[in-house]
Amino acid sequence: MSTLVDDLNQEISGVLQGNLNTYLSGVKSDLKSFLQNNQTQISMWAAQLQSGVIGKDDLNDNMLNLADLFKITSLTEAGISAIQAENIVNQILDIISNKLVNFAIGAIVAAL
C-alpha cells in the first residue's frame, strides 16, 4: 500500500506544482501530513473497492467526508482564497479517488 500512497503523493504534487509553485513546500508538508494521517483509511478503501465491498459512489461519499478534514493551512496562511483552496483540495481528492479505483481494477484484472 505504500506504493499507492507514494503514487498519490507524486501525482498530487504535480497538480500542486502547476497551481502553487510559490507555496509548494508548505503545501507538500500539509499533503504529506494528510496522507500519513489517513493512510489506514485510504488503504482500507482500496481493499474494499478491490473486494467489491464498496463501489465508486461509496468512495466518492468517503472522499467528501475527507474533504472536511483536509485543510491546507499553508494556503490560507499565504492568503489564497477559500474558493481556490477548495478547488485544489477537490483536485487532490479526485486524484485519490481515481487512483484507488484504478488500483482496485488493476488488482481484479491481475487476479483473473
Tens-digit pLDDT profile for residues 7-54? 888 888 877 766 666 666 777 788 888 888 888 988 898 889 888 899
* pLDDT, position 53: 92
Weakest mean pLDDT among 4-8, 43-47, 70-74: 70-74
pTM of the model: 0.62
Q: Who wins on pLDDT, 51 or 106? A: 51
Angular region, 93: left φ>0, alpha ψ -120 to 50, beta rest: alpha
Q: For the segment 48-57, what is each residue's pLDDT rounded down to a tens digit? A: 988 889 988 8
Which residue is associated with the grid cell 467526508? 65
